[in-house]
Amino acid sequence: MSFFESTAFEGHEALHAFNDQRSGLKCFIAIHSTARGPATGGCRMWAYAGEQAAVDDALKLSRAMSYKNAIADLDLGGGKAVIIGDARTAKTPALFEAFGGAVDTLGGTYWGAEDVGVTPEDLAYAARRTRYMAGLTGRPASSGDPSPVTAEGVKRGIEMTVKKVLDRSLSGVTIAIQGVGHVGARLAEKLAAAGAKLYVTDLHEATARAVAAKVGAQAVPPHAIYDTDALVFAPCALGGAISRETLPRIRARIIAGAANNQLADAEVGRAIYDRGTVYAPDFVLNAGGIINIAAEIRALAEGGAYDPDWVELKLERMTVTLSEVLDRSVRERRPTDVIANEIARERIAAARG
């Protein structure tokens, strides 16, 4: 089977590779679809085991962004950038300026934003070389760090799902958060403020302990988060957390978190459904950040300012869409991820005409 016929590449429009020897930039930008608008998605910096791992991640994430943008009803397509490197030790202004130059060569078919390992401060260097960068500060259109809006959307989605499934508020509900980085830490704060009881973990255990101390949670080692007695399991780290190996250990009634590509494969979605656990599809639940970015791109296109009211309306609609997906799953007796994927594909196909 050729690369273009592979499952990983299926449906993509393009995959770009960039190598800048002066700065050390090694980067892939995947463009899944521009049917609804410019491909938009964050830039991730990670110490990948190899180039193929980086390519695979870029392709998976760009497809997820297409679905996320479509189901959030945004005039954007899906793309993703990944930079190979340790974000704790390999960042330099020159590297991100080179990244901006790479983005600029695509002529607006891709807009970048922050993701794992990348901050708005990093993107400010990229913006020196391209205008196709969002999630910045210091201008009327700026939306800033999208993490707080992502966390707010996930909190609302969890709250709605808990009410629908358990018929109770978040007060006293035990939630296990896997990963307390930019989004996970803010989500922990919001859930704790709503009265939830939290378990938290992170690959960087000092980070988990610091967040736990701040919000009154219990920090547990990364391998132990699956074995807690939580009613809600919230994956907020990297993808693939829910697999055929980890699912049997999860006792939660609900799986709902901020991570992208939470399911290791499609079979896991069916297994979650068959055992009676409710899964809030990740690309429905975690769309708050890209909604925030969409508001900035919209403002830039119109020469206006960032509109928080527009963002609020989209967040409200996102929660309604999640509710509709959960209801259809019950009514049609099908997994939630299958239904959400169908909705997204239908909207992308309609845009293609």
> What is the set of active-site residues?
80
- If you count them, how many residues does the chain have? 353
Residues of 290-326 as b/e, b for ≥16 C-beta within 10 angstroms?
bbbbbbbbbbbeeeeebbeeebeebbeebbebbbebb
Q: Is 135 left (phi over 0), alpha (psi -120 to 50) or beta?
A: left
Angle at 291 between CA 236 and CA 71, to 5 degrees: 85
Burial status of residue 331 (CB atoms within 10 A of its CB: 0-12, 13-18, 19 or more): exposed
What values do phi and psi take at 209, rounded to 5? -65, -40
Which token pair is 175?
Answer: 């939630």
Dihedral of the CA atoms 228, 229, 230, 231 (nearest 10)?
150
**Quick one: residue 112, left, alpha or beta (phi over 0 = left, psi -120 to 50 = alpha)?**
beta
For residue 18, what are the β-bridge partners?
Answer: 27
